Amino acid sequence: MSTSTLLAIIIAIVVVIAVAVAASMVMRRRKLRERFGPEYERTMGDADSRMAGERELRAREKRHDALDIKPLDSSARDRYTRDWASTQDEFVDRPEDAVHDADRLVTSLMHERGYPTQDFEQQLKDLSVEHGSTLEHYRAAHDVEALSTRHEATTEQLRGAMVHYRALFDELLSDGGGRRHARA
């Protein structure tokens, strides 16, 4: 076999390997984007590089997979639904208290489902794996809850916080942890 033929074969093999690696990276990136939703772009923006951001998201997946996330039984779901209705009713007369109660209710629901609830930043990371589409709601609600602790939130901000808490609450209550995405 001539040197030029051998060189052509080696180049063809390298090109095929490079295309396969690139395709694999594109597919992995697409799966992360689909799984994390808006949280993907937020994490990429916070990371030093795309590789570091994607490594962070894969680490979140690994941590999440080790958690014992479980669905609620129907009696717990009914109890949380009643508690939320009571919290919403409270908003009319005591909006700040209602926002604090909504925060506690969402935290309690996360805890009962199996999410760690000690550290807000870790909560965000753990929730991002299955609830990336509603995570901005939780961040916004939490920010207003912090303002209301200092009595600095307007009634409109408090109302918005209730709407934001409700988005995550509904998702945590209804999905039962069954939205696991297949990964390659």
Whether 60 and 70 have beta carbons less than 8 Å apart is answered as no
Q: pLDDT value at position 154?
A: 96
Element of type H or E holding 84: helix 74-93
Vertex 71 angle, CA 67 and 76, to 5°: 125
pLDDT tens-digit readout, 17-39: 999 988 888 888 898 888 888 88
pLDDT score at 11:
93
All residue ranges of the chain with pLDDT < 50 are: 176-184
Residue 50, pLDDT score: 87
Nearest to 124 by CA among 55, 43, 183: 43
Residue 181: what pLDDT? 37
CB 72 within 8 A of CB 97: no
- Give the pLDDT score at 96: 96
Is the whole-model pTM more than 0.85? no
Query: How far is Cα 83 from Cα 81, in angstroms, rounded to an integer?
Result: 5
C-alpha to C-alpha distances, 146 to 91, 103, 109, 143, 168, nearest whole angstrom: 17, 10, 20, 5, 18
Q: Considering only CA atoms, give the Rg of the chain.
A: 22
